Structure 1
Amino acid sequence: MTTALDHLLVSLQLADSAFPSGLYTLSHGLEGYVQAKRVDADCMPVLLEDLLRHSVGPADATALALAHRAVGDGDWDAVVEVDRRLLASKLNREARQASTRTGRQMLDTARLALGGPELDRYAELVAAKATPGCQPVAAGVAYAASGVPAEQAVASDLFAFAVSFVSAGLRLRLTDHRRAQITLRELAPVIEEVVAAALERELADLGGCVPLADAMSGRHERAEARMFVS
């Protein structure tokens, strides 16, 4: 029998930067902004807030919430539909590859660490190429399999994204360790807002609208030298 403490521990484990999903290899488009000289230390936190509200929230966080709900209902056709819709909403090749690569790494590790028939079923679908295995959907399955409530699951994954983004900022010399912690703490109301919106959306609403971020990702994809995969 799981408890609230068990759910908290699972959330901490899956959102931990040490969890080997490959998030440390991603800048989530930040490196593209740096290459184009469109971001500095002062506006990096603002960019992060905008991405949470208009990109990650409507797309990845919404997909996680929908996948979590579908697993709870035992509706694997709905899980596959969410997964495919999310992948189709990512316009750049490197964004699609980053999502499926980190998703499959999360799935493999979660099966070993957490176990459960839901993760096994999702792994079968991914292996059969019936579904792409995007990271937010894999996370949604993992959280649902462990009984973590949807709100907590979405909040944890959003915080993991924010940590990954700020960590990329550290490596790109846009922030330091202390300012990074201030940035993360000040995101709390934004994450709360984005979680609430994600939980209300339906499949037809899935997808962000961030033309400049897509352009920066496209530039990054063609860059001659890159520190990050995305």
Structure 2
Amino acid sequence: MAGQPLGREELAGFLSVLQLSDSASPSGRYTLSYGLETMAQSGRLATPSDPATLSALLRDQVRLAVGPSEGVALACGHRATTGPDSLDLELVTRADQRLTAVKLSREARETSSRTGRALLRAAIPVFGAGALTTFASEIASRRSPGNHAVVLGVLSACLGVPRLQSVAGELFAFAAGWVAAAVRLAVTDHRTAQAVLYDVRDDLAAAANSAADNDIPDISSCAPLLDVMAMQHEETELRLFAS
């Protein structure tokens, strides 16, 4: 039996999640390996890697780093946006600054800000929301760093995407980009990458549920190995990825 059909606004919100989490979104995140490149270069990942190892690594990164940091910061940016033209600047700026503070490597901070600004440049002409323009002014004046997750939270709220769906979409986009980087680094193949994505879907859902209702003091990250890999990546001479 068919379920209750989604209303027009709910379906539009779902389609917006698909659009914003699509790899074709022009934010430049396809240039990020999230520490995987250094791990592969250092020999910590076999070629090809055991799917269980990849799943465990991705699961820990979602649970301990991306969910509590980007996920919560996105939720705060979403919560600060009470309408397409209404933005709580104090809340969104504090969340943005806190997210930058928990990113220990210079490379992680710079790529997060760069992709956030790229998302803004693409989104403002397309969606035209006043809240986005207001936030862009704060970023241009250097009062706010402009992290990708926070920009995406504001944009998602402007488009009427529910907060939990926004966080879930971002965490899935991260996971999809992560396994895509693993394929490009030849530590896995496309079929195994899809198996890894399927394997961690419950973890993505749990991380999204945990992050969606958290607030600025909860923005945190604890992934020491990946932080060290990111720091080492800055010093490598040959790099396929920006991080």
Instruction: Tell me which interval the TM-score lies in, with the shorter structure as reference length.
Output: over 0.9
Q: Residue 81 of structure 2 aligns to a residue in which SS?
A: helix
Q: Which has the larger radius of gyration?
A: 2
Q: Residue 3 of structure 1 aligns to a residue in which SS?
A: helix
Moved over 6 A (4+): none
**Hey, what does 1:172 align to over in structure 2?**
185
**Hey, what does 2:80 align to over in structure 1?**
70
Whether 1:38 and 2:44 are equivalent positions in the alignment is: yes
Please show how residues 111-130 of structure 1 align to structure 2 within 5 Å. Answer: 111-130=124-143
Residues 151-174 of structure 1: CA deviation (Å, up to 9, x unaligned): 000000111101111110010011
User: Which structure 2 residue ranges, 5 or more long, are not aligned?
Assistant: 1-6
State the shift of 1:13 in Å: 0.8
Residues 9-29 of structure 1: CA deviation (Å, up to 9, x unaligned): 111111000111101100011
Amino acid across the alignment from 1:135: H
Amino acid across the alignment from 1:26: L
**Hey, what does 1:91 align to over in structure 2?**
104
**Hey, what does 1:7 align to over in structure 2?**
13
**Hey, what does 2:4 align to over in structure 1?**
none
**Hey, what does 1:161 align to over in structure 2?**
174
State the shift of 1:2 in Å: 6.5
The answer (yes or no) to whether the contact 1:44–1:174 under 8 Å persists in 2 is no
The answer (yes or no) to whether the contact 1:60–1:136 under 8 Å persists in 2 is yes
Higher deviation after alignment, 70-79 or 89-98: 70-79
Q: Give the TM-score, by structure 1 length.
A: 0.96
Identity %: 43
Q: Give the TM-score, by structure 2 length.
A: 0.91
**Hey, what does 2:113 align to over in structure 1?**
100
Residues 66-97 of structure 1: CA deviation (Å, up to 9, x unaligned): 11111128421110000011011111110001
RMSD: 1.4
State the shift of 1:127 in Å: 1.3
